[in-house]
Homo-oligomer: A and B are copies of this chain.
């Protein structure tokens, strides 16, 4: 089966995220809305796997193997897996 895995590569919670902070400030100044924002990279990876769980693990492994995130500062998480 072919699955689309949505990965989010973002700064860990404890680490400052200047891009997210800038968007958050902009939302507040322009719309008066307090909305916490975290910014990251979204990768949609199409992989072959038997189950959605396996697809998620496979995409995660590819991301770490290629060092698309830095384990010291980033978290890589599966946001969603869907049928391709």
Contact = CB atoms under 8 A, between A and B. Distances in A.
Interface of A: 6, 8-10, 20, 23, 26-27, 30-31, 33, 35-47, 59, 62, 65-66, 68, 79-80
At the interface, is chain A mostly helix, strand, loop or mixed?
strand
Contact of A41 (B41, B44, B65): B41
Given A30-B65, A31-B62, A66-B26, A42 B39 contact: yes
A66 B22 CA distance: 12
Closest 4 CB pairs of A and B: A42-B42, A36-B46, A40-B42, A38-B44
A20 B42 CA distance: 10
Contact of A65 (B31, B42, B66): B31
